[in-house]
Amino acid sequence: MSDEDEKIDDDAVAAEWAAMAEADGDDEGGDGAGDGNSDSDDEMAAAMGVERVLDQGEIDSLLGFDGDDEDGGTKTGVQALINSGLVAYERLPMLDIIFDRYVRMMSTSLRNFTSDNFEVSIDSMTSIRFGDYLNSIPLPAMLAVFEAKEWENHGLITIDSNMIYSVVDALLGGRRGNAPMRIEGRPYTTIEHTLVGEMLNVMLKDLCGAFEPLSPVTFTLDRMETNPRFATIAQTSNAALLIKMRADMADRGGKMELVLPYATIEPIRELLLQRYMGEKFGRDSIWESHLANEILLTDVELDAVLDEQSMTLREVMNFKVGQTLMLNVDQDADIDLRCSGVSMLKGKTGMSGRFKAVRVEHVVSRDERNS
């Protein structure tokens, strides 16, 4: 090949590269500016034999980290796959009714406990992984671990420092209208632990009352911690229900958070799936009592069976008026009392005044009927 032919080939390759670079510049200046997924990029990378590298925007999109989606919007990418394992609390409609009842009961109880105008409200009710919640607790705070005896599991109540100082100030006679003084950098005193413990006992008693119409349960205070690592009651990857509450006492107050791992409420999950009390089993106390009373007033017919014999149809057709049938029983034999063919009672025959009577001596159980 001559030098002139090589020069022509070099000019052709240079022209081709210039055209590709110009096309790439047009794409970046147009609507697709900044888009690393353009066809020209792929063609150029294929022509050069180099593997294409993702830019930062594509990596963030893949992992689900979108800076414009920090307000709790829909997640995408890997985060959506991870968070898809969580059970949303909306799937348990009965929890809304229970905790609405709980905040109303607790407002009254804590108002009597502190002798102050106490109002409790729910800020949010969400699902969260237990490990993420422990890492998000603002310190200093007081964490109370309580036990659900019937469910054989535990729950967690977190009370922030503002709430602790407000309750202690109210119980020790602090003036209304003055915000409690916070002393940073010191542990909670024995008096503060004791007073908060009394308040937690009131809260747990109301929590028992809130669950009682659905499923009676006993909540008892197990221990109180100030380090979140010592309040671990579930695996860090386990899903938990987080209820954020706010308490207001005039110009003071604070926040309380109740955490129930889904493993804790699993024994009553079928009940929590109901949309209203008694949906699954039709439990209505008014109709139950009315139906029970009506059944007790119902008249039924009982058949006293003295004996049973097997006969042929010919023998039955040969019966004559006045014929005597011999029974294979004596006077002390048991009489079988039946209702609609079902054996109910057994007894002895006798006389009550001018009437034939049967004295009941045995109630036939279900097992005896099936045998």
Most confident among 58-72, 193-207, 343-357 (mean pLDDT): 193-207
Q: What is the distance between the alpha carbons of residues 291 and 106, in angstroms, rounded to a whole number?
A: 36
Gap between the Cα atoms of 12 and 17, Å rounded:
9
Confidence class for position 281, pLDDT limits 50, 70, 90? very low
Residue 268 DSSP class: G
Is-same-fold flag (89-272; 299-370)?
Answer: no
More confident call, 177 vs 212: 212
Domain boundaries along the sequence of the chain: 3-67, 89-272, 299-370
Helix, strand, coil shares, percent, the chain, to 5: 40, 20, 35
pLDDT level of residue 146 (50, 70, 90 thresholds): very high
Q: How confident is the prediction for the chain on average, in pLDDT? A: 77
Lowest mean pLDDT among 19-28, 51-60, 133-142, 215-224: 19-28
Q: What is the pLDDT of residue 175?
A: 66
> In this model, does residue 62 exceed pLDDT 50?
yes
Under CATH, which number does the domain 89-272 receive?
Answer: 3.40.1550.10
Closest to 348 measured CA to CA, from 299, 326, 308, 356: 356
- The pLDDT, as a whole number, for residue 25 is 54
The average pLDDT across 161-185 equals: 73
Section 279-305 average pLDDT: 76
Question: How far is residue 146's CA from residue 142's CA, in Å, rounded to a whole number?
Answer: 13
pLDDT over 50 at 33, yes or no:
no
pTM value is 0.52
> Structurally, what CATH architecture does the domain formed by 299-370 represent?
Roll (2.30)
**Higher pLDDT pick, 284 / 109:** 109
User: What is the Cα–Cα distance from 124 to 72, expressed in whole angstroms?
Assistant: 13
